[in-house]
Amino acid sequence: MDISIFSWNVQGCGHQRFIPAAKQFLRDYKPDIVLMVEPRVSGLRAERFIAAMGFPHSHRVEAVGFAGGIWIAWWDTVALDIIINHFQFVHFRVTVKKSGFSFLSTAIYGSPCSTKRKRLWANLHRLATTTRSPWILFGDFNTTLLDNERKGCAASSKPSPAFKDLLYDHGLRDMGYSGLDYTWTRDNAYVRLDRFICNSYWDSEFHDSHVEHLLRVGSDHRPILLSVGPPTRKSCPSSFRYFSGWQQHPHFPRLIRDNWQPSTSLADSLSTLSKAVEIWNKNVFGSIGARKRIIMARLRGVQKALSTRASTCLRRLEADLLCELEHWLDQEELLWKQKSQAD
């Protein structure tokens, strides 16, 4: 079975600059199911956001004011049957259309209030006692399991015994991860709040499972991705196309003036110009994908360094890189819009 699930506490997604970052994750990882929690928007604004992302199917537990909110969106590769709605979780069954495999999932947004989270643990205990099939729980639990999952927090901030009891009592396990340790940061505080958990039935059926902590962009939380089965990548040949984003570069008008050579054939003039533009795009403007990958690699290094030591200089560099990444995401969004109009 090949399937991937993307989970992200977006900490508000109403800003227009959030959409390019979210679309970038979807293009890079192509998840079948996407969970977004704490969106801080609801109603028509939520519908517009989901439509802008292009999802054909979605389900929501609406935010109350600026609190809570659980969005689940999915593509036609899977079918979802919602079983239980709760303000802190959605319990549903997933069927993978290609293989026919199915499993239970619970998308989590644990309340920041420990008293309200007690209701979450009680409900999850009840679900666990009746579950006899593969099951994963994922999202933002808003608490930790171990002491080393927090750094720079108040001494009173402790792992949750109730959370530990849930896993111990029902034979559940944290699925681990690759990547940086912490999924949430603010100032000098770092915590692992977001995770995937599974039961023994899941391990028996889907042993080829891997969780990755992704780059933190557009939110205080780092997205996390579960992949089941080997990754598949598709490629297609590229061809020259005019990109309207080139006009934003200050040297582009001069490039056109210097390389437009009127001749007997318009096709010959365009051919000469296109070759010059291709060279300029490679050496000056640069591939959007390449520029973006370089910036994201530098961001990973900066964020890794910040997770080990506080530094005003590194924070300033992180802010500059995020601003630069937003620029290239805007350029890529413009490119995708142009391609969709051409198609």
pLDDT at 182: 93
- Of the candidates 115, 116, 58, which has an alpha carbon nearest to the alpha carbon of residue 87? 116
What φ, ψ does residue 58 adopt, rounded to 5°?
Answer: -160, 160
Q: Strand pairing of 135-140 and 102-109?
A: parallel
Is the pLDDT at 202 greater than 80? The verdict is yes
Cα 165 to its chain centre, rounded Å, is 29
8 A C-beta contact, residue 43 and residue 64? no
8 A C-beta contact, residue 281 and residue 246? yes
Does 108 or 341 have the greater pLDDT score?
108
- Of the candidates 270, 145, 250, which has an alpha carbon nearest to the alpha carbon of residue 195? 145
CA atoms within 13 A on the CB side of 55: 26
pLDDT at 42: 81
Phi-psi region of 179 (alpha: psi -120 to 50; beta: other; left: phi over 0): left
- Of the candidates 304, 111, 148, which has an alpha carbon nearest to the alpha carbon of residue 213? 304
DSSP lists the bridge partners of residue 227 as: 4, 210
pLDDT at 63: 82
Q: What is the mean pLDDT of residues 157-171?
A: 89
pLDDT at 3: 93
Q: pLDDT exceeding 70 applies to what percent of the chain?
A: 74
8 A C-beta contact, residue 120 and residue 88? yes
- Edge-to-edge, what's the strand order for the sheet holding 209-213? 57-61, 70-74, 33-37, 3-9, 224-228, 209-213
- Edge-to-edge, what's the strand order for the sheet holding 135-140? 78-86, 89-96, 102-109, 135-140, 194-198, 173-174
Using DSSP's 3-state secondary structure scheme, residue 179 falls into coil
Which pLDDT band holds residue 258 (cuts at 50, 70, 90)?
Answer: low
Q: How far apart are the first and last CA of the chain?
A: 32
- The CATH H-level (homologous superfamily) assignment of domain 3-228 is Endonuclease/exonuclease/phosphatase (3.60.10.10)
Q: Which of 35-49, 132-146, 281-295, 309-323 is least confident?
A: 281-295
Which pLDDT band holds residue 332 (cuts at 50, 70, 90)?
Answer: low
Which pLDDT band holds residue 236 (cuts at 50, 70, 90)?
Answer: very low
pLDDT at 35: 96
Is the pLDDT at 293 greater than 80? The verdict is no
Structural domain spans, the chain: 3-228, 244-342
Dist. CA 299–CA 294, nearest whole Å? 9
What mean pLDDT value characterizes the chain?
82
Does 147 or 240 have the greater pLDDT score?
147
pLDDT at 233: 41
Dist. CA 300–CA 250, nearest whole Å? 30
* Orientation angle between helical segments 161-170 and 114-130, nearest 10 degrees: 0
Q: pLDDT exceeding 90 applies to what percent of the chain?
A: 40
Q: What is the mean pLDDT of residues 109-114?
A: 92
Q: What is the mean pLDDT of residues 285-305?
A: 71
pLDDT at 329: 73
Q: Where are the alpha helices (DSSP H) in the chain?
A: 18-29, 43-53, 114-130, 161-170, 200-205, 252-259, 266-280, 288-306, 312-342
pLDDT at 235: 43
pLDDT at 324: 76
8 A C-beta contact, residue 9 and residue 229? no
Q: Which amino acid is at 194?
A: D
Q: What is the mean pLDDT of residues 205-218?
A: 89
Q: Is 189 exposed, middle or buried (0-12, 13-18, 19+ CB in 10 A)?
A: middle
Is the pLDDT at 71 greater than 60? The verdict is yes
Q: What is the mean pLDDT of residues 319-331?
A: 75
